[in-house]
């Protein structure tokens, strides 16, 4: 037998340390190839590390809750044989940056459980704890077909050797003849009506987090499936982040929360952005009535069955359209030059239980409306589950923050470091609005934006935000 001291690897995001959050193994346990053995928290995300070795765990070298530097030994494994030197990982074998040409497509296809590909199809130890799981993970195809393509989400190879059973396609209401609908999640009988529960795994996860009994939820989905809105309506909470119950005062007079991980990264990034980039903000009130009507029509379309459609989707498309007309807002400032980017990696500020993160949708300008809706939904679900990978937060070019979901009318957002524009979408609600000389109730919102005044002048900022507002007022402009 040989002994391997497993070092904390470089997870390919330019960080130098990580916190040991939870050990999944204990001394004496046998560990298999690709088995997740520890969960670590970096300054950006939670990462699960699978083992690149088989053997018996002899010692855990770092306690949970401790932060250690990259390269520090964290685990000792007794292998059954072979050369430890040949297979031992090197903390310097980092994943290539996500924004290099060779890896841009891989970064765009980053999945929840993996953001580094194996060096070969045949196997071999790889870092970032992603093991040699055979064929690389695949993404959904970018070519939607009516009624079913939206379900073709990214898949991740299972850590075991047994492949998952293929789901049986179900016919979908409203879909063209011959179109295979998305597979439904495993169902459980409803005790009250005998009707099986149809819900996707993310919806089941949300229901579990909110304490919702799916057997008592009335489904409104196109095939009798339970949607996210159904779960939220039935929950005792408005959302994961807004508790309607008022807790008692704690017995402790103070809480002391260590500044580390995501919170430390947020603080450093916001201070750097606020005090290095001269911010300027502009605002505009917008009649969003036609946007709300358009969203309603999309929800009723078979092409969008099972896909979450919201005003955020129209806002995202509006920003992409406005960037084409005002490319300097999609840029980066350096001391030597301004880099204008002719692609859009659309960042979406996401409030998670671990803090604010900004994952981005890669190459959003090349997506159809259905593809963008699916990408935004997957991004949001992954962020709420705390499984956003570092590659999904790198390379952003412009950001949107949807403060309207918290009931806010507007705000002055701080730029995401490395970008020169960020747009805030406020709440959309009915207000009195003058139309053709008459006061009528209309759905109105306020759109605000902040810019780096070193790059974006006032006229460009105003034209950009006016273009965004014009799409919110009349989504048909997107058909031009």
- Here the tokens at position 462 are 């105003």
3-class DSSP state for residue 288?
A: coil
The residue whose two tokens read 């970008």 is 419
* Alpha helix segments (H runs only) across 259-335: 261-276, 289-300, 311-325
The H or E element that residue 56 is part of is strand 55-60
User: Beta strands 398-401 and 421-425: pairing type?
Assistant: parallel
The tokens for 318 are 């509006």
41/332 Cα distance (integer angstroms) = 28
Q: Token match 């996500």: residue?
A: 98
> What is the residue whose two structure tokens read 């008592």?
216
Would you call 342 a catalytic residue per the annotation?
A: no
Of 130, 150, 279, 453, the active-site residue reads 453
Tell me which H or E stretch contains 165: none
Q: Which residues contact 138 (CB under 8 A, 6 or more apart)?
A: 109, 154, 155
28 alpha carbon, distance to own chain's centre: 36
Q: Which of 359, 449, 369, 440 is nearest to 411 (CA)?
A: 449
Residue 465 CA: distances (Å) to CA of 5, 321, 330, 405, 410: 55, 11, 13, 20, 14
Residues assigned a catalytic role:
453
């Amino acid at each position: 037998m040989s002994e391997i001291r497993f070092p904390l690897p470089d997870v390919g995001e330019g960080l130098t340390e990580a916190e040991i959050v939870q050990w999944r193994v204990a001394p004496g346990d046998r560990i298999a190839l690709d088995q997740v053995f520890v969960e670590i928290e970096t300054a950006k995300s939670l990462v699960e590390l699978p083992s690149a070795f088989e053997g018996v765990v002899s010692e855990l070298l770092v306690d949970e809750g401790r932060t250690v530097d990259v390269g520090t030994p964290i685990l000792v494994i007794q292998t059954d044989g072979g050369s430890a030197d040949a297979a031992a990982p090197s903390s310097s074998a980092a994943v290539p940056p996500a924004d290099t040409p060779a890896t841009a497509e891989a970064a765009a296809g980053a999945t929840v459980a993996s953001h580094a590909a194996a060096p070969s199809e045949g196997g071999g130890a790889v870092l970032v704890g992603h093991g040699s799981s055979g064929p690389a993970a695949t993404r959904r195809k970018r070519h939607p077909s009516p009624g079913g393509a939206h379900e073709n989400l990214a898949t991740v190879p299972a850590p075991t050797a047994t492949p998952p059973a293929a789901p049986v396609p179900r016919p979908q209401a409203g879909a063209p003849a011959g179109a295979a609908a998305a597979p439904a999640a495993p169902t459980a009988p409803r005790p009250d009506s005998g009707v099986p529960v149809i819900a996707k795994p993310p919806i089941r996860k949300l229901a579990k987090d909110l304490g919702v009994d799916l057997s008592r939820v009335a489904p409104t989905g196109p095939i009798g499936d339970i949607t996210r809105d159904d779960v939220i309506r039935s929950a005792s909470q408005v959302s994961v982040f807004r508790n309607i119950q008022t807790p008692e005062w704690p017995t402790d007079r103070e809480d002391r929360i260590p500044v580390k991980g995501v919170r430390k990264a947020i603080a450093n990034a916001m201070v750097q952005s606020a005090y290095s980039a001269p911010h300027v903000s502009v605002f505009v009130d917008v009649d969003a009535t036609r946007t709300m009507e358009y969203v309603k029509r999309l929800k009723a379309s078979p092409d969008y069955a099972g896909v979450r459609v919201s005003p955020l989707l129209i806002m995202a498309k509006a920003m992409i359209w406005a960037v084409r007309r005002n490319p300097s807002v999609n840029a980066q400032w350096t001391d030597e030059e301004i880099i204008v980017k002719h692609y859009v990696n659309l960042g979406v500020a996401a409030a998670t239980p671990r803090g604010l993160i900004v994952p981005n949708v890669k190459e959003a300008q090349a997506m159809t409306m259905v593809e963008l809706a699916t990408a935004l939904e997957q991004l949001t679900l992954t962020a709420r589950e705390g499984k956003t990978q570092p590659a999904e937060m790198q390379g952003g070019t412009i950001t949107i923050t949807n403060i309207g979901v918290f009931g806010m009318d507007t705000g002055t957002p701080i730029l995401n470091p490395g970008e020169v524009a960020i747009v805030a979408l406020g709440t959309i609600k009915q207000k009195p609005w003058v139309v053709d000389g008459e006061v009528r109730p209309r759905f109105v919102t306020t759109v605000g934006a902040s810019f780096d005044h070193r790059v974006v002048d006032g006229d460009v900022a105003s034209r950009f935000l006016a273009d965004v507002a014009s799409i919110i007022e009349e989504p048909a402009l997107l058909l031009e």
